[in-house]
Amino acid sequence: MSPFLIAPSILAADFARLGEDTDRVIKAGADMIHFDVMDHHYVPNLTFGSMVCKALREYGITAPIDTHLMTTPVDDLIINFAKAGSTYISIHPEATHHVDRSLELIHSCGCRAGIVLNPATPVEWLTYTIDKVDMILVMSVNPGFGGQKLIPSTFAKIKAIREIIDSSGRDIRLEVDGGITEDNIGSLAKAGADTFVSGSAVFHSKDCVATINKMRMEIDKAIKSL
Ligand code: DX5
Ligand code: ZN
């Protein structure tokens, strides 16, 4: 996999033409599709379930699908989303009673496991989970809605987690999610993120190819300046 991945969130897609709109951002250069599952219980919004993930696979979407479960509980949905074709499945530790068991379940279903830290969730959650995760997803907004502004404390948190990942010696992606634009993606890469979820900025762009290219240029520029 390339060192930096752009993962548009279909939360900002045209739901009436979901297959076509998802294909459009992949063809425009996106690496992975971010799939925001909300249950109107863990978060105050309701989106889509595993049937929609399966439908995207059947439509012909072959890019990795990065499923972000904002639901409680999570275990049944892990099984359903794995069967539906997810590549990564990420869970919020507050949303399951047995975090270790849920992470193991993701692996036993053949998917890569992610842990998601909300803006106020401490990095200490990683102490006993780092050996079982393939991705750490840092929420740069409170989960539940697209189109919010990035919370500035995200930068310090990404830096801290980058150090934790590097000293673990493990191959773990550091993903950031919420409020990401062409203007802040470079600083996020500089802080240590390597995977970028962007909903509104990509799907609502008048020129999606130009937006994704600009995002990649900003990442390159920021990394070269290190
Ligand atoms: C928020 C979601 C995000 C978010 C991204 O709960 O996890 O994926 O919607 O969308 P934008 O880029 O619009 O903030
Ligand atoms: Zn998300």
- Note the pLDDT tens digit of each residue in 30-88: 999 999 999 999 999 999 999 999 999 999 999 999 999 999 999 999 999 999 999 99
pLDDT (tens digit, 9 = 90+) per residue, 178-192?
999 999 999 999 999
CA 28 to chain centre: 19
Cα–Cα distance for residue pair 109/96, rounded to 1 Å: 17
131 closest CA partner among 177, 86, 171, 74 = 171
Structure tokens given for 129: 């989970």
In short, whether 144's Cβ falls inside 6 Å of ligand 1 is yes
> Is-contact 130 170, C-beta < 8 A?
yes
Q: For ligand 1, say whether the CB of 49 is within 6 Å of any of its atoms.
A: no
Mean pLDDT of all residues in 133-138? 98
**177 carries an active-site annotation:** yes
Catalytic choice (31, 36, 39, 134): 36
| CATH architecture of the domain with residue range 5-224 | Alpha-Beta Barrel (3.20)
